[in-house]
Structure 1
Amino acid sequence: MDDPDAALMQAVAAGEPAAMQMLVARKLPRLLALAVRMLGDRVEAEDVAQETFLRIWRHAGSFRGERARLDTWAHRIALNLCYDRLRRRREQPMAEPPDAIDPALRPDEALSEACSARRVERALQALAPRQREAIVLVYYQDMTNRQAAELMDVSVDALESLLSRGRRALAAILKGDDQ
């Protein structure tokens, strides 16, 4: 398996802080974006990203590059942490759902764009978790269907089914918002 991060991961496993800093600089934006899309909460997503890197640092010596690429391993850690948080949310009912905030929006962006982005974020949060995971990995993390299926531990056909159901559900949710 050809992993462009293999040498960097070996340096992290050797306990080199500079290597870990470089790893964080390379991987943080995508892992943070993944967590924000899965959780709909920037603060929680930052916690997940931080915990992901702590786990990578602690378990770098046990990483086996012949079994998976670093990106796959890091995404799996982040997704597992997201699912842990989503499970805890279900166990603790809230009086009011939190406002979904898209951290990518800046004050100078057009109001209609901001409104659309918030609608899509809310719609993503309403999807079944596995459908949301598939959509986030393929459309927001730019993974191929094969990469996303491997990460989710499903067949490509199963992933495509999740994507199809997720797109239909998103369309129905967004259409319902218009009425």
Structure 2
Amino acid sequence: MQIPDDELVRRIAADDEVAFRALVGRHVDQAYALALRILRNGADAEDVVQDAFLKIWTGRHRFEPGRAKFSTFLCRVVINRCIDLHRRQRGEPLDAIAEPADPRPDVITMMERAEADAMLERAVDALPERQRLAILLSYHENLGNEEIAAVMQTTVFAIESLLKRARERLRDVLREAAQDVRLSLPVD
């Protein structure tokens, strides 16, 4: 039987390193995936996750079990660390991570998919920061609006509004991009 996160957090507050290792092992992949989606750089994502867990360990006596789910709290810490890193690197471009290879043998389909993914990624990157985070948490982390509101420290209504505006902006940007692509094709 797996020990619940709240119990591990209580043990960590009592300086139990074994409990801390168990909690890290349980959540490190989710934290890394979130940091990687935000930063798009594997080394930076690893640094952010390591820093987030270090912050959790050093602040272990202040965490209040039951106040929030640990995974929600961890998402908030990771996002804050990503924002801090991004602020420190302002002016420097973030390294792009290459798309994973598509196993399908059809090269044309792969190229079209890569172009569509890049177009969507650019559109998401162009969103205001809070809209971008809401979209990432909703679609990449599969969090519900209540969980996103907890992570972003706002109301569910504000999250619904952020997501609505983000989706509308993405639709407009992608519609314009599709029109540009059609205009650039030769007429038969």
Does structure 1 retain, via aligned residues, the 8 Å contact 2:119–2:174?
yes
**Does 2:97 align with 1:101?**
yes
Say which SS state the counterpart of residue 61 (structure 1) adopts.
Answer: coil
What TM-score, normalized to structure 1?
A: 0.82
Alignment of 1:57-72 (within 5 A): 57-72=57-72
Structure 2: which 5+ residue stretches go unaligned?
A: 105-109, 181-188
Name the stretch that deviates more: 73-82 or 118-127.
118-127
Cα RMSD of the aligned pairs, angstroms, is 2.3
Equivalent in the alignment of 1:27: 27
| CA shift in 2, pair 1:119/1:44, >3 Å | farther
Whose Rg is larger? 2
The corresponding residue for 1:41 is: 41
Does the 8 A contact of 1:100 with 1:122 survive in 2? no
> What TM-score, normalized to structure 2?
0.79
Change (3 A) 1:21 1:117: farther
Alpha-carbon offset, residue 114 of structure 1: 4.0
Segments ≥4 residues shifted beyond 6 Å: none
SS at match of 1:65: coil
* Residues 123 and 173 in structure 2, CA contact (< 8 A), matched pair in contact too: yes
Check 1:108–1:158 CA distance in 2 against 1; reply closer, same or farther (3 A cut): closer
Deviation for aligned residue 1:24: 1.6
How far did residue 164 of structure 1 move?
1.0
Show CA shifts across 1:117-169 (max 9, x none). Answer: 33333332221110011111111111111111122122211111100111122
Number of equivalent positions: 171
After superposition, the C-alpha distances for 1:13-59 in whole angstroms (9 at most, x for unaligned) are: 23333322221221112111211222222221111111111111111
Quote the Cα distance in structure 2 between the aligned partners of 1:117 and 1:60: 40
Residue matched to 1:12 = 12
**Which structure is higher in RCO with an 8 Å CA cutoff and minimum separation 6?**
1
Sort the Cα spacing of 1:15 and 1:120 in 2 relative to 1 into closer, same or farther, 3 A: farther
Identity %: 38
Following the alignment from structure 1 to structure 2, what is the Cα–Cα distance between the partners of residues 114 and 32? 23
Once residues 20 and 66 of structure 1 are traced to their aligned partners in structure 2, the CA distance between those partners, rounded to angstroms, is 17
